[in-house]
Structure 1
Amino acid sequence: MSDPRPVRVLQSVLLGGAQPSYADHVAGRLDPTRVQPLSFSYRTALTGRWDVLHVHWPENLVRHRSRTRRVLRTVLFALLLVRIRVLRPVVVRTVHNTTPHEGGRPVETALLGALDRAVTWHVRLTDETPVRAGAAAVTIPHGHYRAELGDAGTPADPRCLLFFGYLRPYKGLDVLLTAFAGTTDPQLRLVVAGEPASAEMRALVTDAAGADPRVTPHLGFVADDALAALVGGSAVVVLPYREIHNSGVVFAALSLGRPVLVPENPVTAALRAEVGEEWVRGFTHPLTATDLTDALAAAAGRDPAATPDLAGRDWSTVAESYTGVFTSRPVAA
């Protein structure tokens, strides 16, 4: 007889934060009679009862600004690896990025490598994501945010560019600000919205706004309704990331019917083929003023009533695919 209780899935992140994460969107659509998602704590990880460990951004389980807390987390992570080795649970890793956005210490690299070797299933958000040779992998596309963000509700300003999200160095905001400063149209606008990761990132934006009145900062947490208004008021959302693989920002923009300007690579090319080429415009680094003005010109020629094809990317479909992963093990070759 099959076990009637739901599979207990320990997430590697906290659930239920003020700003819902990818894991929250998946957890919120899971059938509770089949899967019970658990918010992460090391107490639960090391002493609690769970059947599956679902890992997102594993470096965050080790990192902390405090050296003392970082050392403690390193020890606890090592103990979690021991528990995994002894109990051999299902370990699912969603591969959001091929490598951490910021480099880590050698001990962190070693621990993350050990965890990766214990993974039962690698979940890729795109077929272009590489995984460890011989590892079992399944592709589950990133969900869209149409239900969460609703309708843009604001006519696009054809001269407005938008950058939004958590402001971190790898996202290339400095490059965007330099490229925008090179544009000559006094009617162009660049809106930068999001919480800076550091005082340096905050100063980067405020200094640019002080030097160029066309730059408008909205620094801090941006709620969904405010984000929808900002995206709706823009003509193009720019992601000048030094490297891009998967990004919720892309799907937030597309969900609200706004095209994105992104670095050209196999992942963004595949997304363009899926949703329509008018929605995903690529550039080759370094980003230039011409890239920005050309993207605005292309957006101006778009049918304002058109929407990108995001079929199969609703979170209920994503959650159902995860349920299949949580409740199975790969068949040995």
Structure 2
Amino acid sequence: MSGEPHTPRVLLLSAVGTRTNPYIGLLQDGLAAAGADVRVVDRLRPADLTGVARPDVIHLHWLDRYDLPQAILLRGFHGATDLPRRTLRRLLETGCNVAPIYQMRRWWRLRRLVGQLRGFQATGGRVAYTIHNLDPHEDQGPADRWGSARLIRLADVVHVHDESTAQAVTERFGRRGGVATIPHGHYLHSYPNQIDRLAARARLGLPAAAFLYVTLGLLRPYKGLETLLAAFRSLPGEDVALLLAGKSDSDSYGETLATLAAGDPRIRLQAGFVPREDVQLYLNAADVCVLPYRQITTSGAALLAFSFGVPVIAPAIGGFPSLVEGRRGFLYDPADPAGLTRALAQARETDWQGARQEIRDWVAQFDWREIGRRLVRAYG
């Protein structure tokens, strides 16, 4: 991509669609605003690497979701059976995740991907890899660990969202050059945002005057929700409430959370997919958003909360320390058993008057057009 200026052709390779996460769509728009010709695909096919549509750059995202066997089978079987999609997914995951079968499939698919990318580089193409998760949220075994390490070393450009991840890439993988630290973009205009606090609480059937802690998104074990439930239950008073909203990782995990929440009328567990248009209900109803993750690299959830002006409580790990400070919330030491409880209490005692607009003004700096410009420069 040197010499006379031309329109760089970028292939965004992402197994995570825009229905559940608008990141890729926003990145595509940002790159296009920077002058790139961008396509998005969920799998790399031979036709993507040849002909007039051949890209200059392949930019990979979310390796841990790439070409998963159960996802491929689900696409093939859905419509050929009367089983509900969710039931079919569970059956396929049970079969595909039998360790030896799963690992064999993953090795084969990831080795094929690495081979395709190397061939692309050998003919002048460049590869970029965005690290959303330095480690998979749920360890999928040696194949995925191998694939992640190989891509970090193979990519011409490794894109990270904060300095702590850049440092981890150097320390763990020995990579010193070609690491571009470019922040995660905001979600200021990505979701409807018209409803006010009282109207949102009325719609959700929540008390108007309570101090409300909210966790929003997929309910998964790595998010530390059991710890949050225990910490919240230790808070005194009837003027506080906790809302956990999102689709559960599994029926068994949902049942675990329901058991832990039982008996405390201040806790609301609302399991189920949250439609895009309803995100505003939960975040505009919230006083703070709690993200008690056990493991994290980049937190799109924190950027989403900030985009609605909501302060965040989070552990001092991963990218959180670069985001959560001052009027934007509280960090706590995850090694301290009382750390989360103290942070919950601090948030309740804080005067947040005016903080929502301050937070929205601050997060506006993470503009996708600027991110697109910086990435185009990083591609080389």
TM bucket normalised to smaller: 0.7 to 0.9
Residue pair 1:195, 1:220 contacting (<8 A) in 2 also? yes
Shift of 1:266: 7.2
Alpha-carbon distance between aligned partners in 2 of 1:239 and 1:80, rounded to the nearest angstrom: 33
Distance of aligned partners of 1:111 and 1:254 in 2 relative to their CA distance in 1, 3 Å threshold:
closer
Matches within 5 A, 1:167-316: 167-265=219-317, 267-272=319-324, 277-285=326-334, 286=337, 287-298=339-350, 300-303=351-354, 306-308=357-359, 309-316=362-369
Shift of 1:245: 3.0
Shift of 1:158: 4.9
- Greater share of helix residues, 1 or 2? 2
Deviation digits for residues 165-199 of structure 1 (CA, Å, limit 9, x no counterpart): 11111110010011111122123110001111112
Match of 2:40 in 1: 38
Q: Give the match's secondary structure for 2:189.
A: helix
Bigger mean CA offset, 167-176 vs 301-310: 301-310
Alpha-carbon distance between aligned partners in 2 of 1:44 and 1:218, rounded to the nearest angstrom: 43
Distance of aligned partners of 1:152 and 1:183 in 2 relative to their CA distance in 1, 3 Å threshold:
farther
Distance of aligned partners of 1:319 and 1:74 in 2 relative to their CA distance in 1, 3 Å threshold:
same
Cα RMSD for the two superposed structures:
2.6
Alpha-carbon distance between aligned partners in 2 of 1:113 and 1:47, rounded to the nearest angstrom: 23
Residue pair 2:302, 2:312 contacting (<8 A) in 1 also? yes
Matched, 1:61 2:59: no
Residue pair 2:229, 2:261 contacting (<8 A) in 1 also? no
Alpha-carbon distance between aligned partners in 2 of 1:146 and 1:185, rounded to the nearest angstrom: 34
Q: Percent identity?
A: 25
Matched, 1:159 2:161: no
Task: Compute the TM-score of the two structures, normalised by the length of structure 1.
Answer: 0.86
Q: Give the match's secondary structure for 1:128.
A: helix
Alpha-carbon distance between aligned partners in 2 of 1:96 and 1:55, rounded to the nearest angstrom: 10
How many residues end up aligned between the 2 structures? 322
Matched, 1:119 2:119: no
Bigger mean CA offset, 37-46 vs 71-80: 37-46
Deviation digits for residues 234-275 of structure 1 (CA, Å, limit 9, x no counterpart): 1110011113331111011111111100112474333245xx
AA matched with 2:188: R
Shift of 1:45: 7.8
Matches within 5 A, 1:54-93: 54-61=59-66, 63-64=68-69, 65=93, 66-67=96-97, 71-88=104-121, 89-93=125-129
Residue pair 1:176, 1:240 contacting (<8 A) in 2 also? yes
Match of 1:106 in 2: 142
Gaps of 5+ in 2: 70-92, 199-208
Residue pair 1:125, 1:140 contacting (<8 A) in 2 also? yes
Residue pair 1:158, 1:234 contacting (<8 A) in 2 also? no
Q: Give the match's secondary structure for 1:322.
A: helix
Distance of aligned partners of 1:69 and 1:188 in 2 relative to their CA distance in 1, 3 Å threshold:
same
Alpha-carbon distance between aligned partners in 2 of 1:3 and 1:72, rounded to the nearest angstrom: 42
Match of 1:331 in 2: none
Gaps of 5+ in 1: 329-333
Q: Give the match's secondary structure for 1:186.
A: coil
Task: Compute the TM-score of the two structures, normalised by the length of structure 2.
Answer: 0.76
Shift of 1:288: 4.0
Distance of aligned partners of 1:296 and 1:75 in 2 relative to their CA distance in 1, 3 Å threshold:
same
